[in-house]
Structure 1
Amino acid sequence: MLETSSTPRRPRGVRALIAAGTAAVLAAAALAAPTPADAAVSRAELALRWAPIHYQDVDATGSHALSGQSDYLTRVDFDGDLDGRDNWDGAGQAGTTLAAHVYYSVVETSTHWYITYFFFHPRDWTDHPFFETEHENDGEGALFAIERDGSTYGVLRSAVTVAHSDFFSYTPTGSTWTSGGESIDGTLRFQASPHDTFQHPVTAQEAQGHGLKAHPQYDINGDGLVYYPSTVAETPSSSNDRDVRYQLIDIFASGGLWAQRSNASLFASLGTFAGDTSGDCGVGTWSCSTNSANAPWGWDDGNDTPVRGEIASDPAKLSAAYFTVPAGLARTYSYNPYAGAAAALAEAARTAPPTVD
């Protein structure tokens, strides 16, 4: 099973940190203090250092919005099981806590770290009556390329975000990376966190469909949430909570999301979450589609050179295709658990039908 822990929110201004078992305590300890400059940084520390401050727009209108909760970030087993086909209904059940979690994976070469962040929602929904499709489960995210420059955490050179079936590329101010096979879509900005001493990159997701871009290409319009990386998981106090801490979950953890990739209850095929048309999905709008959300190894921009899933499984290839990197980048991985399934991923990319996400 995937590890579970959460910290519910009390009224604004009060924080309650609730222990959720030995596993959660050990996970928090692993992510806690920055590593000294003369020691090797762990992958968990690296992921926490570069984890984005995340703006989530919220729409609280319509029955499918669940008063805004359909736009809350959470984990795939938020309802206590690894069944992808009960998440639409589970999001609306009394007592279900949508505590904030974000998944990550780190792969390494001699020149770069590549961190993939995966943001999960139980519903991709709409309040429009015509020509709009809903589906169970929703997975968008971002890839950050970190140059190993000799400093503890390296330097962030680029981001590629996932908005439905399109990728968008960004560089921070001062990056040495420039446009390559794809044009750069904007600047990745940074913001200070009130919960640590770092400047973090800033990302954002739209309400309902949850496309993800660099902030402010998407932004909060009315109600919204601002999520901050942390070692605890908080549940928003309302649909307009501007300080919600999220906890990171390693995709490669024992029993974690990557280990569950062949679980037929969670995945309909390699990289595609299982989802059905139960409940009110599609009611009052155009339709409800099935098996329409993707994990990182299922993300694809069909118009681009990298094939399905390579944004996560071969990020050096994608980075070389998207950007001009003057110092070059290594293409051989020293750590890449995705690589063991590279043949299956490649075959799935050739044969898989397009998905809606």
Structure 2
Amino acid sequence: MRDRFTTNRRTRVARALTATAAVAALAVAPLAAPAPATAAVSRADLALRWAPVHYQDVDATGAHALGGQSDYLTAVDFDGNLNGRDNWDRAGASGTSLAAHAYYSVVETSTHWYITYLFFHPRDWTDHPFFETEHENDGEGVLFAIERDGSPYGVLRGAVTVAHSDFYSYTPAGSTWTSGRESVDGTLQFQTSPHDSFAHPVTAQEAQGHGLKAYPQYAINGDGLVYYPSTVAETPSSGDDRDVRYQLVDIFAAGGLWAQRANANLFAGLGTFAGDTSGDCGSGTWSCSANSANAPWGWDDGNDVPARGELASDPAKVSAEYFTVPAGLARGYSYNPYAGAAAALAEAARTAAPTVD
């Protein structure tokens, strides 16, 4: 049963990623701390300043929980390679890393910055024997829309989270944004980090399936982890560690996830992580599905107007659909590396059956 709760700080064990060429392909230099308010702000600065304090519920029960480690955040190449089809089997194996990472991308218009965050787990799992499926790899996340108001970091106006095949929208208290075509689902809370001087938005993921919403619409139930954005990657000391720092990795970095989008070992299609049904995935449960997790350019809420992938690739469109923005927002991008593949993304949205995360 998940009924333990402790506030004692634990000594963390740093676990370095295996030094292989595959790992180096995704590696980037650690992000610097956010710049002082008087200095120019880089995209990395923006990503670190607005990265969420992230609550992760942990379930240590069940054959596929790995004692809770199946709910730990980690890097896509946690096992030292860029093969998406061995992640289920290598989760928790000797020589792999559970150091906490999250991925981000920043795109810009003249009026807003849009920052997308991806949180990765090697397993989407369940301990229920009926009516629920498992799959290899799991990628869910959140979009933050930041108004460029003349201050160094802007002001956060709205958020859209990814929980499986549904999107949920939120606004902070006092935001000028209100419901648009979709109703706002709640208030985005903020929490001060002990590792910097900023109040960060707060998000949370459920155990097992890892749907992501604004805290406390998901919350820790017994054991759990609280992740804080930082310049280093820490490994939780246990499944009930309330102070774990995670390191951000730029999706657009040289050799990064976006550069790897045509790597058939990592992606089964545009925006779809490769994943098979080997090992014990699905054993004792309803089934195990293949190729069922998505990167940000594959996220989709099939019931809503924005097309597959547009949460990341056209966030101004998503924001205009989900929210009423009194001051308006620019639709043309001054920086958007996703746009170079806009035709392929649009074609994939028209022709490919969406996968379910």
For the superposition of Structure 1 and Structure 2, which TM-score range results when normalised by the shorter chain?
Answer: over 0.9
Q: List aligned pairs for 1:263-282, cutoff 5 A.
A: 263-282=263-282
Contact 1:261 1:270 (8 Å CA) reproduced: yes
Q: How does 1:289-304 map to 2 (within 5 A)?
A: 289-304=289-304
Q: How does 1:80-91 map to 2 (within 5 A)?
A: 80-91=80-91
Q: Tell me the SS of whatever aligns to 2:159.
A: strand
CA–CA distance in structure 1, aligned partners of residues 120 and 11 of structure 2: 26
Match in the other structure for 2:346: 346
* Long gaps (5+) in structure 2: 1-7
Asked whether the equivalents of residues 137 and 275 of structure 1 are also in contact (C-alpha less than 8 Å), the reply is yes
Structure 1 CA distance for aligned equivalents of residues 221 and 42 of structure 2: 37
2-structure distance, mates of 1:65, 1:85? 19
How far is 1:17 from its partner?
6.7
CA-to-aligned-CA distance 1:155-202 (integer Å, 9 cap, x gap): 000000000000000000000000010000000000010000000000
After TM superposition, give the deviation of residue 351 of structure 1 in Å: 1.1
TM-score normalised by length of structure 2: 0.93
> Aligned equivalents of 2:306 and 2:15: distance in 1?
43
Q: Note if 1:43 corresponds to 2:73.
A: no
Q: Identify the residue that residue 139 of structure 2 maps to in structure 1.
A: 139
**Aligned position for 1:7:** none
Rate the CA distance shift 1:19–1:79 in 2: closer, same or farther, 3 A: closer
User: Which position in structure 1 is the counterpart of 2:32?
Assistant: 31
After superposition, where does 1:121-270 map in structure 2 within 5 Å?
A: 121-270=121-270
Q: Give the counterpart letter for 1:241 in structure 2.
A: D
Counterparts of 2:36 and 2:28, CA distance in 1: 20
**2:223 partner letter:** D
Rounded Cα–Cα distance in structure 1 between residues aligned with 2:65 and 2:38? 48
Measured after TM superposition, the shift of residue 40 of structure 1 is 2.0
- Count of residues in Structure 1 that have an aligned counterpart in Structure 2: 344
- Aligned residue runs from structure 1 range 95-134, under 5 A: 95-134=95-134
The answer to whether the Cα contact below 8 Å between 2:9 and 2:242 also exists between their aligned partners in 1 is: no
1:329/1:220 CA distance change after superposition, 3 Å: same
What is the root-mean-square deviation in Å for CA atoms of aligned residues? 1.8
> Does the residue aligned with 1:254 lie in a helix, a strand or coil?
coil
Structure-2 change in CA distance of 1:235 and 1:123 (3 Å) = same
Structure 1 position 327 matched with structure 2 position 293: no
* Cα deviations by residue, 1:292-338 (Å, 9 ceiling, x for unpaired): 00000000000101000000000000000110000000001000000
**Alpha-carbon distance between aligned partners in 2 of 1:18 and 1:265, rounded to the nearest angstrom:** 25
- Runs (4+) of structure 1 exceeding 6 A deviation are 16-21, 23-26
Question: Partner amino acid for 2:43?
Answer: R
CA distance in 1, matches of 2:222, 2:178: 34
AA aligned opposite 2:145? A
Question: In structure 2, what is the Cα distance between the partners aligned to 1:356 and 1:290?
Answer: 10
Q: Which amino acid aligns with 1:91?
A: A
> Would the aligned equivalents of 1:103 and 1:117 in 2 still touch at CA under 8 Å?
yes
Q: Which runs of 5+ in 1 are unaligned?
A: 1-10
Amino acid at match of 2:115: I
Q: Distance in 1 between matches of 2:28 and 2:61?
A: 39
- Structure 1 residue 355, shift from structure 2 partner: 1.4
